[in-house]
Structure 1
Amino acid sequence: MRIFLTIFLLVASLGLSAQPVVLLQKDVSKELAQKLNREYQNNEGPVNQTPHSVRTVFDNIYRQILQTDKFKEYMAWNKLYLNAEGKIDYLVVSVTKSFQLADGKKKEDTSVADSLAAAVSAQLTPYLSDFVSRRTIGTKTAITVFVSFYNRPLTEPQARKDSVVNGLAEAMATKDTLKVKTLALGQNLLTSIPEVIYRFPNLEELFLGDNDLETVNIDMARLPKLRQLDLSRNILRDNSIAISKNKSLELLNLQMNLITDVPRAARNCKKLETLWLGNNRLSGLTNASFRKLRQVKDLNFYKAELAVLPKGIRKMRGLEVLDLYYNKLETLPKSITRLKRLTHFAVSYNQLTALPKRMDKLKSVHTIYAHHNHLSKLPERITRMKKLRIVDLGYNWLTTFPAELASFTNLEELDLSANNFPEFPMQLLQIRKLDKLHLRGNPFLGQDAERKYSDQLSQLKSKNIEVFY
């Protein structure tokens, strides 16, 4: 029993004292790279999507380790492999010359960069023990944090508008609070909503993006004129958002949080017109998610990992813009054709094999973005959509020209790029009105395409159609 207890305590102590493994990029073996790619979900996006608080932590670490002002032409790339507790398992470091100063024509001398990387990697570990990524808790994730050693020179202060306040310090110091219409508190390392927001009773725009807010409770009675609220890039979950009932809020931005369903708070905003929920994992959507949102005109589900769009979407009768870019949709619900006021239909970067058969019911739609799908044909009744102006069907599986497209008389732009047309689609010559036509990336456009199809291209150009091929 004593031996068992000793072993247990030893294992426990080892777990508690586990330190992040810091490696230089050049020292990462092929086997380890494969292991890391396999075990850690790659959460990469644009570098500027790395949370401000995380970038700040690493900026401060590097300032303590190096005199970064002496190496202002360099930048460090830190690839963090985070465990399910949000702690760092591995950190892979590389140092390069910054984008502006690196000369791509010459073979750069990497000795300074390599020396900097070695110096940093040797000293990083003690600074990492308290680091926790609260946004990624629950999954093993990989993110990249870059640190620029270049400090931009201070710019001349711009003329300050009485109606705009930037930052907490300015918000607390402002005397004439009645004139303030816009309060910008983004990237202020906030972990809670500051009471100072209520100093401005005439506030119309409140920006709280890219902080570390985990709960939000906003009393709209104290902000009776607030029209726009930006809570994007925080750590908010479904039940951590409270917004009191109001008739003023028109735009609610909740992108890049940890939300799985349309939050109840949105239904308290009786005049809400724009609801952005993109870059959340909306795995909890149901038919009930869309109730009491009839007044919303612009709905953003961009990159929300949707495999199914509930048929309850039909309840959003006032919807004009629907953004479903970058999801995993293979089909769309028939009920989507009940959105009579829809003008923009954006379903690009999905896995759709067909558009709804009764697309023609969407009589107000003038713009269709359906590129990067698996479409091989169009619904026959699409010809009844007389208001269509822009149709983007690029990067699909079309092998024959959809005859339906030739019937449109008000079309301004048609994109058929990167489909599988083996020959020039002669039906294109039947289109009566068109401003721009995109054909790049189709098989028929070989090296001699301009000579082979000169007559057809000339006919199109004679109609003042700008052709991209």
Structure 2
Amino acid sequence: MRLEVPLLIFALTIASVKPSEITFENVTVWISADEKLAEIESSTSLKQHLPDTSLDIIAITGEIPVLYENSVSNISNVKHIYFHENEILDIKPGAFKNLTLETLEVVYSNLTTLKNGIFSNVSLKTLEITSNLLTKIEPFEGLPTLKILVLRHNNLEDLDDEHILDQLVELQVLDLSYNKISVLPRNLLDNLHKLKTFMLRKNKFWYFPEIFPNSTQIDMLELSSNLISQLPGGILGNLQNLSRLYLSFNHLESIPSNVFSGHPNLKELDLSYNRISTIASNAFDDMPQLVNIKLTRNKLKKYDPNWFHNTPNLYQLHLANNEIEDLPEGVFRNIFNEKKQWVSLSSNKIKTISPNAFRGFKYFDTLNLAYNELETWDATLLADTEVIFYLNLVHNKIKCVGGDLDQAFKANFTYLGLNQLTPQCLQKIVDWRGDKLAKDKHVVCTIPCNLY
């Protein structure tokens, strides 16, 4: 009897401890969307259910409340591991001990905290903890090879510790989009000397974050869908390598002269879906690399011909959905260059176009004037244009097209649908089209025009 009691106590201890250590219970391991690798009834380790051969991808489905220590450890023959809809509540430190792979993703679970020590002794290039419930991140330890960190779609509000990223010295991409962040620690990026892409879309920033050290190499910054209402002068001073800046869907009302002008490397600037009504005349001066600017859906009433002085590479100009009423003489004089220009002015209130508005313009890819209030279109407007592929005049109030129709319809495609062409004007166009021997020019008009 003396031996039986200790044995009974030991058995009860094992029975009470072992279930709490079981990570994988009734889960499935997949190597493709329709091919199972294993079905795990009960196990403490993922490795024992994997073959010794190399695997590209494995995905784990099924409920896993906790990833315990060593549960996903000592794996080196898999490139990508995905935990998908597992309802994970907690990851214990050491869960990924001695793990070597390229991508680790935990998506659609219930994690609230990333604890210190979870990623110790892990060799990894991409870590994604997305669509969880994260509210707290403790400093990352380990991950000396991590290049991409994605924490999208969580509940992060504050990153209290400015040192949480200090050890991620190889990090190139940081994505904190779709959280609730309003402010970041001032020195958060000080050790991230290789960071190139920083994404903060859909957060709660009221101000442009001033956290960028002099040494930053960031070339893409995403701040769309925040609450930013103003851009102080010199705010991009430490972002000299920046080539793409996205500020759409904010609350901007004006663009002063000393925010973007003179920036040496900015190529793409998105200011669409704001409330911008005023832009300083020199706001976009001296930007030698600027190619694409989006000012769509703002409240601009005028286009200032003085904009874009010394921007020799600009050829995509998005101005749709504003309140512009007229195009004055030489309206786009500062963007004349040898590139085929793409200019969108659709959905404004344009009633008049100066006879010399496009004087000097030789090359258009697209000129979009759809959904305005034009009553006439004259052949002389594009007198200087040598090449134009698409001319969109849909949904204006045009009653007739004046002048030489060879000049008026020199575009490869001219769209005239939903206008108010008079019968006489329509017949004039039909006769012109019928007489044309060359079929490389097309006038496209919806019923009743039917001119194609």
Give TM-score, length-normalised by structure 1. Answer: 0.59
Amino acid at match of 2:327: K
Q: Describe the shift of the 1:236–1:367 C-alpha distance in structure 2 as closer, same or farther (beyond 3 A).
A: same
Q: Describe the shift of the 1:432–1:262 C-alpha distance in structure 2 as closer, same or farther (beyond 3 A).
A: same
Q: What does residue 248 of structure 1 align with?
A: 194
Amino acid at match of 2:146: L
2:311 to 340, 356, 362: 362
Cα distance between partner residues in 2 of 1:369 and 1:297? 18
Q: Which has the higher strand share?
A: 2
**Runs of 4+ more than 6 Å apart:** 168-171, 456-461
Q: C-alpha displacement at 1:426, in angstroms? A: 2.4
Cα distance between partner residues in 2 of 1:244 and 1:296? 17
Q: Describe the shift of the 1:368–1:382 C-alpha distance in structure 2 as closer, same or farther (beyond 3 A).
A: same
Q: What does residue 397 of structure 1 align with?
A: 349
Q: Describe the shift of the 1:268–1:392 C-alpha distance in structure 2 as closer, same or farther (beyond 3 A).
A: same
Q: Describe the shift of the 1:451–1:284 C-alpha distance in structure 2 as closer, same or farther (beyond 3 A).
A: same
- What secondary structure, in the 3-state scheme, does the structure 2 residue paired with 1:454 have? helix
1:347-388 Cα offsets, whole Å, 9 max, x none, are 111111223332342221011001111221156262352135
Q: C-alpha displacement at 1:305, in angstroms? A: 0.9
Q: What does residue 277 of structure 2 align with?
A: 330
Q: Describe the shift of the 1:240–1:408 C-alpha distance in structure 2 as closer, same or farther (beyond 3 A).
A: same
Q: Describe the shift of the 1:312–1:429 C-alpha distance in structure 2 as closer, same or farther (beyond 3 A).
A: closer
Q: C-alpha displacement at 1:339, in angstroms? A: 2.2
1:184 to 128, 135, 139: 128
Please tell me whether residue 223 in structure 1 is matched to residue 165 in structure 2: no
Q: C-alpha displacement at 1:462, in angstroms? A: 4.6
Amino acid at match of 2:349: W
1:426 to 379, 382, 399: 379
Choose 245-254 or 168-177, whichever is displaced more. Answer: 168-177
Q: What does residue 371 of structure 1 align with?
A: 320
Kept after mapping to 1: 8 A contact 2:137/2:164: no
Q: Which has the higher helix share?
A: 1
Q: Describe the shift of the 1:381–1:370 C-alpha distance in structure 2 as closer, same or farther (beyond 3 A).
A: closer
Q: What does residue 435 of structure 1 align with?
A: 389
Amino acid at match of 1:322: L
Matches within 5 A, 1:88-107: none
Q: C-alpha displacement at 1:452, in angstroms? A: 5.4
- What secondary structure, in the 3-state scheme, does the structure 2 residue paired with 1:160 have? strand
Q: What does residue 333 of structure 2 align with?
A: 383
Kept after mapping to 1: 8 A contact 2:170/2:192: no
Kept after mapping to 2: 8 A contact 1:164/1:182: no
Q: Describe the shift of the 1:246–1:378 C-alpha distance in structure 2 as closer, same or farther (beyond 3 A).
A: farther
- What secondary structure, in the 3-state scheme, does the structure 1 residue paired with 2:293 have? strand
1:193-243 Cα offsets, whole Å, 9 max, x none, are 255x54432222111111011123455542222111111111111345622
Cα distance between partner residues in 2 of 1:408 and 1:252? 38
Unpaired runs of 5+ residues, structure 2, are 1-31, 37-55, 59-77, 102-121, 399-418, 447-452
Please tell me whether residue 301 in structure 1 is matched to residue 247 in structure 2: yes
- What secondary structure, in the 3-state scheme, does the structure 1 residue paired with 2:258 have? helix
Amino acid at match of 1:189: L
Aligned length: 315
Q: What does residue 454 of structure 1 align with?
A: 430
Q: Describe the shift of the 1:429–1:292 C-alpha distance in structure 2 as closer, same or farther (beyond 3 A).
A: closer
1:415-442 Cα offsets, whole Å, 9 max, x none, are 1101111123323664321122222111
Identity %: 21
Considering only aligned residues, what root-mean-square deviation do their CA atoms show, in Å?
A: 3.3
1:389-438 Cα offsets, whole Å, 9 max, x none, are 21111112222345433642221111110111112332366432112222
Q: Describe the shift of the 1:243–1:394 C-alpha distance in structure 2 as closer, same or farther (beyond 3 A).
A: same
1:83-109 Cα offsets, whole Å, 9 max, x none, are xxxxxxxxxxxxxxxxxxxxxxxxxxx
Cα distance between partner residues in 2 of 1:467 and 1:180? 55
Amino acid at match of 1:367: Q
Q: Describe the shift of the 1:397–1:360 C-alpha distance in structure 2 as closer, same or farther (beyond 3 A).
A: farther
Amino acid at match of 2:351: T
1:280 to 226, 229, 244: 226
Q: Describe the shift of the 1:357–1:339 C-alpha distance in structure 2 as closer, same or farther (beyond 3 A).
A: same
Please tell me whether residue 205 in structure 1 is matched to residue 111 in structure 2: no
Amino acid at match of 2:207: D
Q: Describe the shift of the 1:419–1:381 C-alpha distance in structure 2 as closer, same or farther (beyond 3 A).
A: closer
Higher Cα radius of gyration? 2
Kept after mapping to 2: 8 A contact 1:413/1:435: yes
Q: What does residue 298 of structure 2 align with?
A: 350
Kept after mapping to 2: 8 A contact 1:395/1:418: yes
Q: Describe the shift of the 1:468–1:383 C-alpha distance in structure 2 as closer, same or farther (beyond 3 A).
A: farther
Q: Describe the shift of the 1:260–1:218 C-alpha distance in structure 2 as closer, same or farther (beyond 3 A).
A: same
1:149-193 Cα offsets, whole Å, 9 max, x none, are xxxxx9536951755454586994471156532211111211122
Q: C-alpha displacement at 1:343, in angstroms? A: 0.8
Cα distance between partner residues in 2 of 1:461 and 1:343? 34
- What secondary structure, in the 3-state scheme, does the structure 2 residue paired with 1:404 have? coil
Cα distance between partner residues in 2 of 1:371 and 1:382? 15
Please tell me whether residue 160 in structure 1 is matched to residue 57 in structure 2: yes
Cα distance between partner residues in 1 of 2:370 and 2:305? 23
- What secondary structure, in the 3-state scheme, does the structure 2 residue paired with 1:289 have? coil
Kept after mapping to 1: 8 A contact 2:123/2:144: no
Kept after mapping to 1: 8 A contact 2:243/2:266: yes
Kept after mapping to 2: 8 A contact 1:256/1:277: yes
